[in-house]
């Protein structure tokens, strides 16, 4: 039996596009002699569809698309993922399902049993877990078909009380097929390989796993579909961040082999290389799937905006990026030059709009209210918000989408101006720590100098007052980032972080700042997720909570 794995980029709710893409892959797989082509979890509607799943029409369109796909399945079978109605009176209204389609008809349905409800996942909100499992007979083989999380209960501390494969294995299948929608994090590929390898060796069956690729707002899917033999040996690893269809032979002895290509990595990509590719895909899909073409950002001459500008130029084309220099009376000459050097290196569009007159107008208007009060954060934030007003005005006038340039370290401790530098349509590096931003800048410069070296080596500064430095308000970033990571990603208590060797006063201050800044993060744009725990949908904290604040 020849099996094709189709690793594709879907668009939530775009039934015409998704269906056409699936049918095209079926036709090509058939012309290449495939008996079965396998697509990803919820490929028909896109993942995650969230509350679209509560609309009956949405579910109906999924079924209409499935029937169009079925009509194309002559002389070939396929597996597709879609939400289906739960016809039982009890439980949730839907199942997360996989259709096995053969000869134009749905021959079998497999429903997902293990519904993740942690971090960015919210499947139990919509779906009823399966309790019955059956293998599928096809071409002399018995297939154990599961959906994503159904194979993830082999960890040391299981999250669920059942394992669907423990039931399916009793029916003596020849092969496991798992369809998934597994989002990217820079450490997730190795974890994925380990979990799936464990399944193949545990059940002594070959395993074919297909993931999707593409970004859905903040979530990025990296592909990397996998094939293992019945000993747990990794046979093939499909490309990351790319659409791909690959072909595999399964013989009568349940031995799997690849055809035409194998992309087994000789070495793992670095975290920064993966983050770079993920963000490029995240920007590109956010614009393409939203129907936008051109981006705008404020370019300060600092490293954060320089990195975002370079990433946007690579993702969208330099001709589609507008970099606006917005110097204030506190902007240094070298910062302006660094910004100018960057736009020359990139070849992107740029404008220079000084905000001195704008901020002075605000200060003059507020003079009766601010009379005899010293310059403080109010005047600092007026500068930041003046820049935001200019950038948003250009968005409205010319149809740009504003890129937010705040990094994860700043977002964590609230080091930014609400409705100022924290505004935007999408946060490009909001899940990238400041120390990683430096690594990302050096990675972007790996072949030639794109980001000016001075932007990388100079002390970070918001330049909202004379001689300002980030370290006036914050610990050094190499210390700050480790404390944030311990608390946000590691879920460590302040006591645990102090035991790691960090100063108690600094630790308590940082954690307090993180908790106090929740109201700011709640009002900021969606953040492209590249870590195991990003701010946004995957980290849900009360704004008014007192704990550790």
Would residue 112 show up in a list of annotated catalytic residues for this protein?
A: yes
pLDDT tens sequence across 534-549: 999 899 999 988 777 5
**Which two three-digit tokens encode residue 30?**
């058939």
Q: What is the mean pLDDT of residues 14-41?
A: 98
The SS3 of residue 409 is helix
Would residue 41 show up in a list of annotated catalytic residues for this protein?
A: yes
Among residues 135, 148, 309, 492, the one annotated as catalytic is 148
pLDDT tens sequence across 218-259: 999 999 999 999 999 999 999 999 999 999 998 876 677 766
Strands in 26-70 per DSSP E:
36-38
In this structure, the number of other CB atoms found within 10 A of the CB of residue 452 comes to 23
Rounded CA-CA distance 167/177 in Å is: 15
**223 close to 244: Cβ distance less than 8 angstroms:** yes
In this structure, the number of other CB atoms found within 10 A of the CB of residue 225 comes to 29
**Residue 404, H or E segment:** strand 401-404
Domains in the chain with CATH codes = 2-265 (3.60.110.10), 276-472+517-521 (3.40.50.620)
Q: Which residues are registered as beta bridge partners of 240?
A: 223
Task: Report in angstroms the alpha-carbon separations of 174 from 111, 221, 345, 419.
Answer: 20, 29, 56, 58
pLDDT tens sequence across 304-349: 999 999 999 999 999 999 999 999 887 666 788 999 999 999 999 9
- DSSP assignment of 210-275: E--EEEETTEEEEB--EEE-TTS-EEEEPPBSS-EEEEEEE-TT--EEEES-----SSPPPHHHHH
Among residues 21, 41, 380, 423, the one annotated as catalytic is 41
Phi, psi of 80 (to 5 degrees): -125, 155
Quick check: 261 pLDDT over 70? Answer: no
Would residue 148 show up in a list of annotated catalytic residues for this protein?
A: yes
Give the residue, 515 or 472, on which the prediction is more confident.
515
Among residues 73, 78, 112, 408, the one annotated as catalytic is 112
Residue 85: predicted pLDDT: 97
Quick check: 293 pLDDT over 80? Answer: yes
304 secondary structure, DSSP code? H
Rounded CA-CA distance 498/505 in Å is: 9
The SS3 of residue 8 is coil
Rounded CA-CA distance 91/96 in Å is: 13
Quick check: 8 pLDDT over 60? Answer: yes
Do the bridges between strand 213-216 and strand 207-210 make them parallel or antiparallel, or are there none, so unpaired? unpaired
Rounded CA-CA distance 126/117 in Å is: 11
- DSSP assignment of 305-364: HHHHHHHHHHHH-GGGEEEEE---TT--HHHHHHHHHHHHHHT-EEEE---HHHHHHHHH
pLDDT tens sequence across 79-134: 999 999 999 989 999 999 999 999 999 999 999 999 999 999 999 999 999 999 99
Rounded CA-CA distance 496/494 in Å is: 5
Rounded CA-CA distance 438/408 in Å is: 13
Q: Which residues are registered as beta bridge partners of 241?
A: none
pLDDT tens sequence across 510-530: 999 999 999 999 999 999 999
Quick check: 462 pLDDT over 70? Answer: no
Quick check: 263 pLDDT over 70? Answer: no
Mean pLDDT, the chain, whole residue set: 94
The SS3 of residue 93 is coil
**296 close to 324: Cβ distance less than 8 angstroms:** yes
487-495 long-range contacts, CB within 8 A, separation 24+? 487/511, 487/514, 488/412, 488/514, 488/533, 488/535, 488/539, 489/531, 489/532, 489/533, 494/548
**Residue 141, H or E segment:** strand 141-147
Contacts of 348 (CB under 8 A, 6+ apart): 309, 312, 313, 318, 319, 321, 322, 323
Rounded CA-CA distance 274/279 in Å is: 9
Rounded CA-CA distance 197/206 in Å is: 10
**Which two three-digit tokens encode residue 486?**
């311990």
Q: How confident is the model at residue 472 (pLDDT cuts 50, 70, 90)?
A: confident
Quick check: 453 pLDDT over 70? Answer: yes
pLDDT tens sequence across 384-441: 999 999 999 999 999 999 999 999 999 999 999 999 999 999 999 999 999 999 999 9
């Amino acid at each position: 039996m020849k099996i094709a794995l189709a690793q594709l980029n879907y668009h939530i709710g775009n039934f015409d596009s998704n269906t056409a893409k699936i049918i095209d892959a079926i036709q090509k797989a058939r012309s290449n002699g495939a008996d079965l082509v396998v697509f990803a979890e919820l490929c028909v509607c896109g993942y995650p569809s969230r509350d679209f799943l509560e609309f009956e029409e949405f579910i109906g369109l999924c079924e209409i698309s499935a029937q169009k796909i079925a009509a194309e399945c002559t002389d070939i079978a396929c597996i597709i993922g879609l939400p289906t109605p739960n016809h039982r009176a009890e439980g949730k209204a839907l199942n997360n399902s996989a259709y096995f389609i053969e000869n134009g008809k749905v021959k079998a349905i497999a429903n997902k049993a293990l519904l993740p409800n942690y971090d960015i996942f919210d499947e139990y909100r919509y779906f009823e877990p399966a309790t019955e499992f059956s293998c599928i007979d096809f071409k002399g083989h018995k297939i154990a078909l599961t959906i994503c999380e159904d194979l993830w209960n082999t960890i040391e501390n299981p999250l669920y009380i059942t394992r669907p494969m423990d039931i399916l294995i009793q029916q003596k299948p020849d092969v496991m097929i798992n369809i998934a929608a597994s989002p990217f994090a820079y450490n997730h590929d190795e974890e994925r390989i380990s979990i799936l390898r464990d399944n193949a060796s545990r059940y002594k069956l070959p395993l074919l796993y297909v993931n999707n690729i593409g970004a859905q707002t903040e979530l990025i899917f990296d592909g990397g579909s996998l094939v293992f033999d019945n000993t747990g040996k990794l046979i093939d690893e499909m490309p990351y961040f790319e659409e791909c269809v690959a072909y595999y032979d399964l013989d009568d002895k349940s031995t799997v082999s690849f055809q035409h290509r194998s992309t087994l990595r000789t070495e793992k990509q670095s975290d920064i290389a993966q983050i770079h590719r993920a963000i490029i895909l995240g920007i590109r899909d956010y614009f393409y799937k939203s129907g936008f073409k051109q981006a705008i950002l404020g370019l300060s001459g600092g490293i954060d905006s320089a990195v975002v500008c370079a990433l946007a130029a690579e993702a969208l084309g330099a001709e589609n990026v507008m970099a606006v220099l917005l110097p204030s009376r506190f902007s240094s000459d070298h910062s302006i030059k660094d910004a100018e050097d960057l736009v020359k290196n990139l070849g992107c569009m740029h404008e220079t709009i000084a905000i001195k007159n704008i901020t002075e107008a605000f200060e003059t208007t507020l003079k009766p209210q601010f009379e005899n009060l010293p310059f403080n954060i109010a005047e600092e934030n007026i500068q930041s918000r003046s820049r935001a007003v200019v950038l948003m005005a250009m968005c409205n006038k010319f149809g740009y989408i504003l890129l937010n340039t705040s990094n994860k370290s700043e977002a964590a401790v609230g080091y930014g101006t609400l409705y100022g530098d924290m505004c935007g349509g999408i946060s490009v590096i909001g899940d990238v720590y400041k120390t990683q931003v430096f690594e990302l800048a050096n990675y972007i410069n790996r072949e030639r100098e794109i980001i000016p070296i001075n932007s990388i080596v100079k002390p970070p500064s918001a330049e909202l007052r004379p001689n300002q430095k980030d370290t006036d308000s914050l610990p050094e970033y190499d210390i700050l980032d480790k404390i944030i990571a311990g608390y946000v990603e590691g879920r460590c208590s302040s006591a645990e972080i102090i035991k790691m060797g960090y100063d108690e006063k600094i630790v308590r201050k940082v954690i307090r700042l993180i908790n106090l800044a929740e109201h700011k993060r709640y009002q900021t744009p969606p953040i492209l997720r590249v870590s195991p725990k990003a701010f946004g949908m995957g980290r849900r904290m009360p704004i008014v909570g007192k704990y550790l604040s």
